[in-house]
Each structure stands twice: as structure tokens, then as C-alpha cells.
Amino acid sequence: MKNRIKQTLAFILALALTAGLLTGCGKGDTKDDNAGKGRYIEKDIELPFKDGEGGISFSKSKDGNPLLFGSKGPEVNRYEYKDGEWKETPVKWIAELYQDQPPYLVDMEETADGTQVLLSVNMETQQFQLARGKEGGAGEALDAAYLKQETEYGTPMVADLLVDDAGNYWLQDIYQQKVVILSPDTLETVSEIQTIQSVSNSEKLMAKGSDGMVAVNTEEGIYTLYQSGSLAEKGTLKQENGEHGQLCSDGSNWYTVSEDGISRKQSGNDISEILMEGSMGAMGSPVNSPVSVVMGDKEDFYVLYSQDKAGTNLLEYYVFDPSIPSVPEKTLKVFGLSENDTVRQAIIRFQKKHTDVKVEFNTSGKTAGEVSTDDIRTLNTELLGGNGADVLLLDGLPVDSYIEKGMLEDLTDLADDLMGQDSYLEEMLKNTAQSGGNIYGMPVKFKIPILFGDEEVKAALESIDTLQAYMDANPEASVFGVADYDYIRNFLFQLYQDEIVDPDGKIDQARLVQLLELESKISVNARAAEFEGEEYNTSYEYAPGPFNNIMGAGIMKYPDAVSTEEISSVQNMMLPYAMMRELNVKPSAVQNMYNPVGVVGINESSGVKDLAEDFVKYLFSEEIQSAQLDDGFPVMESAMKGVAAEVDSEYANSFSMMSSTRIGDDTVEISATYPTVEEVDHLMELGHSLTKPVNQDRIVWNIYQETTDKYLEGSIDATKAAETIAQKVDTYLAE
């Protein structure tokens, strides 16, 4: 929850540890199935924490009620939820026990006899430690030898504490990938169980059932069940499709709460029953991570979520309501070529506000770079036939063609209404998908392409002719230091697309030949052939798009070059800004371009236009625009002003990153922390000035990429490549 232990891993792997939260379950009565009537609903429960107080753990009390432990400095409070209210009791023994050296509180559990067991970190030695006490009594520090053992990683890193029905202490050691079971009497190790690799203590690998069973994630997708006391194996529990979530059991069934929803299954049975789809509750939101679940006595669930970036928590209650329809009465269909976190978040919240609506979000199941021409043609056929989704995410789609064919609703009045109520980046809302001054699509978010490095090279990139002149004067120039073929091909076409493709979609073949020959020369100078192996293809799948060079760190070895990056979040600024600080350079815009994200439009043939309009408006609400997601910056002015606040969060202060890039025999290593407030403010000022949307018709781009690859590998010459591209684009436009 609020506490976090800082860890740093190499090669684009960051580890931000959140404090431990326990999973507690109890016996529940199974409801009767009622086909056609009844479904699970979600209700908010206000957390009881005072100002400045954060949670330590969430589990089940000895009386079977949801139980929270919270702390503010050395002060710890116990909160038990009963009859719709929180009862607060101060926990005094911890402050008394550690009055000279308050520890870092990690996890806490209360046993059936009222004993409270605490897991914490000694701030001087940085070692984990155990203690126990009872209300009204003195605390006792526990000298567990295991927690002092030195390994190649140091002393154990404990992600989770669980106390079984026999009183044993189960400790999840993420460094050594095992669960260690200690006797409560001798504190000696009773048993050890190997687990899967866990990268942070937000990933809990243990859960306790009401029948004394303890589930441990021993293999990928497999939990092994152990009996308390005897520690005998009692079967396995299989998780489908690599599902990760929080578990609990009522003694007969095991339940998982994950982003996929709430599911039920039994040991030895691989088939799961979905009780609630993730798309219908907070578990499906990209800002929420379930960290603990407590089961009630009627197959109901209390789920605590962590919202890491915001440093907050959310408690939701799930209960079956037999009085409402099993399926909401109205359906709104949304389609996008690729996933969109902001849209996912909006769907979750919109459905909660409109319980009679189910929003179905379908995608091609592919990333933007994987979308094929056939995918788009299939969608076009549906839309032209008067079918298709009600709301469309137009990213990568032939928007101009859709507007020309009358397939999109005119959103001008809706946009004017929005801009009349709040302040937005109006140029972006008006320019992204428009025709004749009318608006047919608006971006929910946007990304900022930046260019940094040598000023002479930056100036040379202004046009095809200036780049040609620079290369003629500097024939050995690499321009980008080192780069792979895909980046050179994509970035330069994006940069000069308007010089090559006229407003009607016609290709200037002479210009395209000139560009292709420049790409070939730069590819040789930038050593592109060295970065074509499987090692580079798999290691950098996180960075698609025309502005992301997988070898961008090469600018540290070639400061007379330039690098580009597409910034989608404050966290995304870390590595490029670390490089810029070391090189003492500043970022600039790339031809005043912004990359619109989630360009939302409405299908002219939709039968639920009023509902579609309500959903589109909600996408631009303060609630959705302010959600801390990494898929782009908000277009709402007030939400943009709050972006820099992330820099001062506990999450940011505990987060660091390292990058290691091999370039031939050299290795470039970069250490990065969060950017400064001033750097974020400067980037937001830059974002305000951008007026030119990045335009990518995926069919045109696919034609260009496939044919250019043949040219760069030497199977056709530049003239033939340009001719082929022009012919295929003409054929596509005539369809």
C-alpha cells in the first residue's frame, strides 16, 4: 500500500515494491443459480484511514469480518468492518516495542486467538524482522535466524506473511524464490517450498482457505495445496491462460480475483466458472491491481485494490443481486484496432454509473504495427454494410475515406459543447479528424514526439532536400548514430510523408525514390544490418512506432547525431531525459507533430447514438482525463496541469530504471530516475504548441513498409520500389 522498498533491475526492468497485503478467506454459502435473472454488482466501501495514514494489510478478523491495519508513522490502528461500519482500535504494542527505532511496517496478520503478527524492516540493518503481540499486552520481538541468513542477494526479501491454522509463519522470499515455514514456538525452519519467480511483493504467491489449506504458486499457472500443520500436499489448482490474481477459498471452492474477473474452481478441475467478468468491475481497470480479497459468508467478496501511481487504494464489495437482469438491458459496442487503457478505464467507470449498460470493447488483438491490410479491409466491409461498432477508435484507420463515404457522425456540436464547458487543447480536438471545418473524431490522449542531439543534424532533417544536401556534404554521416532498418524506414517516411503523398493520396514517385536512396545510405552508415537479429527483435518489442529507435542509446557514443522518442507519460521521460542531461541538450518538437491516441468517432449507422454520445463525452470528463495511465497525455487543460504532480509522488521517489544497450563490442548503460518538475512543465508547454497530427493510414503504411523492406534488402531497386508503392496505393484508393 503506501510503503515501498526501492529496488533497481537492469535492462529496462524497474521494480517498485508495494507494502504487503494479506489474503484472507472464510466459509461461504453458495447461491442458487438463477438463469436470466441476477448478477454480481460492485459497491464502493469508503476506507477508514485518516489524513496521512496508509494501509499495512487487509485480511479477515478472528470473527470473520474484513480487517485493515493502518499506520501513520509509529502509530498503528486496527479497523474491523462490521454491519456497514468501521470500528477503530489503536494498536499500542508496536510503538512501545520499537520506540527507540521505529521500523518500516510491511505486513500484519491477526490469528484466531487475537495474536497480531508483524513483518517489518529494521531501518538500520535493512533486514526483515518479525514481532507479535496482543491488544492490551506487551509486544515481543522474534529472533528468526532465517531472516538473518546472508545469501548472494543479501538477507531475505520477504514479500508476504501468512499464518496458517496451526500457527506456523509462512514467509514468501522473492530473492530465493521460495516459501519458508517457521515454527511459532522455536522460529526454526519447518519446511521450504519452491515458488515461481516474483518480481515484486505486489505479486502474492500464497493464499489461505477456511479449511486450513494453503495454496502456493509452485509452477507457472499451478498452485499446490498444503494442509496446515502436517504440510502434506493435498492437490493442485490450475490457473488458466497465465491468470494472475488474488485467491481465497470457502473450503469447497477456490476463487480468483484478477483483471479477467471473479472466477470459481475446485482442486483437480481445470475448468473455471466466471462469476463476474473483469470488464464489469474495478478489477478490469488498468489503474487497479487487486492486492487482497476477503470472502464473506454468502459467496460475496471484499477486494482491496492498489493504485500504485496515485499512491492510493480502493475497496470494493461484490455481491450477487438476484433482482436485476443477468445481462444489462443496453449494449454499446466499441471497436479499435489495438487496446487502449484510457478507453478500458472509461468503460469500467461508465458501466458503474449506468448499471443498465454493458459496453463491449473489441479489438483486432494486435498491436498497431501488427495490424494487416486484411484486418482493415474486413472492418471497412462491415462499416460500409451498415454494421460495425457504435463507437470507433480511428487510430490507424482510413479516416478521410470514412468521412468521404459518410460513415462517421459529425461531432462538431458535441465538441463545441465540450469546449464550452471546460478548457481543452482545442487545436487537437479540431484538427485530428476533420473535413470542411467539421469534426468527425477527437483524440482522448496524445503523445509527444521529441527530437534531441546535434543542432546541425536537427536542421538537416527539416526536409528531404535539406537532408540530401547534408548527406552530400557529409557522406559518412549516420544521422542517428546507430539505428535499425525499421526505425530509419519509418521515421523518415513519417517525417516527409506530406512531401511524398499529396492530399488526394497520390504518390510523388521521384520524391519517393530520393527518400529511399537516402534511407539506404543512412542505413549503411548507421550499421543497421548489425541490429537485425532475433536478440534485438525480441528485446525491444516495447518500443514500436516511427519515433522509437531501439538503438537510441547510441547517441551517447555518437553525440554528433540525433535521437528521437515518443513520450506518452512522465515515467516514459526517464531514459531520454537522463541522456539529454548527460549530453547537455534540450528536446524540441518534431515538425510540430503530436500523435493522437484514442481518436474516437461514432458510426453513422449506430442504432444507439445517444448512448454513444454520452460515452464519448465521458471520455473527455475530468475523471477519465485525470486517470494516471501511461498511454498518453490528457487533452483537458486542468488534467494536463496535474501531470507534473506525479514527480513528487512516493511511487516516483521509489522508482528507478537502468538500460543496457550493446552496440558491437561496446555497451551503453544508463541509470535514470523520474524527471524534474521543470522538465515535465517544459514538455507540457511543448505539448500545448503542437498542431499537426501524426497521420498513419495503416494500409498505405503496410504497402510502403513491405515494399521498402525489399528495396533495403536489395531485391529491387529504388525506382521499382517507388513504382510498386504508387501502383498499390492507387489500387487501394480506388476500392
The predicted pLDDT at position 367 comes to 67
CATH of domain 40-327: 2.120.10.30
Residues of the chain with CATH 2.120.10.30: 40-327
Please indicate whether residue 694 or residue 651 has the higher confidence score (pLDDT): 694
pLDDT above 50 for 543: no
What pLDDT digit, counting tens, does each position of 176-223 carry? 999 999 999 999 999 999 999 987 777 889 999 988 899 999 999 899
| DSSP reduced 3-state for 717 | coil
How many CA atoms lie within 13 Å of 44's alpha carbon, on the beta-carbon side? Answer: 8
Transcribe 206-252 into DSSP letters. Answer: EEEBTTSEEEEEEETTEEEEEETTT--EEEEEEPGGG--EEEEE-SS
Identify whether the C-beta of residue 506 lies closer than 8 Å to the C-beta of residue 520.
Answer: no
User: Measuring CA to CA, which residue among 224, 150, 226, 216 is closest to residue 178?
Assistant: 216
The predicted-structure confidence for 169-183, as pLDDT tens digits, reads as follows 999 999 999 999 999
Per-residue pLDDT band at 21 (split at 50, 70, 90): very low
Q: Which pLDDT score, from 0 to 100, does residue 18 have? A: 35
Selection from 337, 336, 331 nearest residue 351 by Cα? 331
What is the crossing angle of helices 341-353 and 609-619, to 10°? 120
Query: In which band, very low, low, confident or very high, does the pLDDT at 241 lie, cut at 50, 70 and 90?
Result: low
**Top-level class of domain 447-596+629-734:** alpha beta
Considering only residues 434 and 10, tell me which one the structure prediction assigns the higher pLDDT: 434
Per-residue pLDDT, 368:
63
pLDDT value at position 536?
A: 52
Nearest-CA neighbor of 458 among 638, 643, 586? 586
Whole-number Cα distances in Å, 4 to 312, 526, 596, 650: 13, 42, 34, 8
- In this predicted structure, the answer to whether residue 360 has a pLDDT above a threshold of 80 is yes
Tally of CA atoms within 13 A in the half-sphere of 158 that contains its CB: 32
**DSSP-derived pairing of the beta strands 178-182 and 189-194:** antiparallel
Mean predicted confidence (pLDDT) in 401-413? 94
Q: Which three cell numbers stand for residue 381?
A: 466491409
Give me the pLDDT at residue 655, please: 87
| Cβ(667)–Cβ(557) below 8 Å | no
Give me the residue label for grid cell 489461505.
208
Question: Mean pLDDT in the chain?
Answer: 89
Q: How far is CA 440 from the centre of its chain?
A: 29
Residue 364 CA neighbour count, 13 Å, CB half: 23
- Count the residues in the chain: 735
Poorest-pLDDT segment among 394-398, 440-444, 586-590: 394-398
> Is 50 exceeded by the pLDDT of residue 23?
no
Q: What is the DSSP letter of 684?
A: H
Of 177-181, 245-249, 266-270, the range with the highest mean pLDDT is: 177-181
pLDDT in tens, 293-337: 999 988 999 999 998 888 889 999 999 999 999 999 999 999 998
CA distance 1 to 18: 6
And the C-alpha cell for 628? 494516471
Where residue 720 falls (left for φ over 0; alpha for ψ -120 to 50; beta otherwise) is: alpha
C-alpha distances (whole Å) from 109 to each of 9, 68, 264, 452, 622 are 30, 9, 25, 52, 38
Which residues face 240 on adjacent strands?
Answer: none
Contact predicate 246/256, CB 8 Å: yes
Radius of gyration of the chain (CA): 28
Q: How far apart are CA 340 and CA 363, in angstroms?
A: 9
Q: Name the more confident of 299 and 545.
A: 299
pLDDT for 481-504, tens place per residue? Answer: 999 999 999 999 999 999 999 988
Cell of 42: 460492485
Which segments of the chain belong to CATH 3.40.190.10?
A: 348-445+599-610+613-624
Cell of 236: 493442485
Q: pLDDT at position 523, please?
A: 95
Q: Residue 661: name the closest of 554, 538, 571, 544 by CA.
A: 554
Q: For residue 57, is it left (φ>0), alpha (ψ between -120 and 50) or beta?
A: beta
Residue 134: Cβ within 10 Å count: 16
CB-CB contact of 348 with 281 (8 Å): yes
Confidence of residue 515 (pLDDT cuts 50, 70, 90): very high
User: What are 103's three cell numbers?
Assistant: 521500523
If residue 583 lies in a helix (H) or strand (E), which one and from where to where? helix 574-583
Q: How far apart, in Å, do the first and last CA atoms of the chain sit? A: 55
Instruction: State phi, psi for 53 to the nearest 5 degrees.
Output: -95, 140
Among 16-30, 394-408, 499-513, the range scoring the smallest mean pLDDT is: 16-30
Residue 518, phi then psi, degrees to nearest 5 = -65, -45
Domain spanning 348-445+599-610+613-624: CATH 2.30.130.40: no
Residue 109, judged by CB atoms within 10 A of its CB (0-12, 13-18, 19+), counts as buried
Q: Which residues fall within 8 angstroms of residue 666, CB to CB, at 6 or more apart?
A: 557
Q: Which residues contact 410 (CB under 8 A, 6 or more apart)?
A: 438, 439, 440
- pLDDT score recorded for residue 39: 94
Per cent of the chain over pLDDT 90 is 73
State residue 545's pLDDT score: 79
The answer to which of 24-28, 305-309, 413-417, 691-695 has the lowest mean pLDDT is 24-28
Q: How confident is the model at residue 544 (pLDDT cuts 50, 70, 90)?
A: low
Q: What was the pLDDT predicted at 49?
A: 94
- Provide the pLDDT confidence category of residue 378 given band limits of 50, 70 and 90: confident
3-state SS class at 105: strand
What phi and psi values does residue 597 have, to the nearest 5 degrees? -125, 135
Instruction: Give the distance between the most distant pair of CA atoms in the chain.
Output: 87
Q: Rounded CA gap, 500 and 630, in Å?
A: 33
Contact 210, 27 (CB under 8 A): yes
Q: Residue 242: which pLDDT band, with cuts at 50, 70 and 90?
A: low
Distance, CA of 522 to CA of 529 (rounded, Å): 11
Look at residue 713 and tell me whether its pLDDT is greater than 80: yes
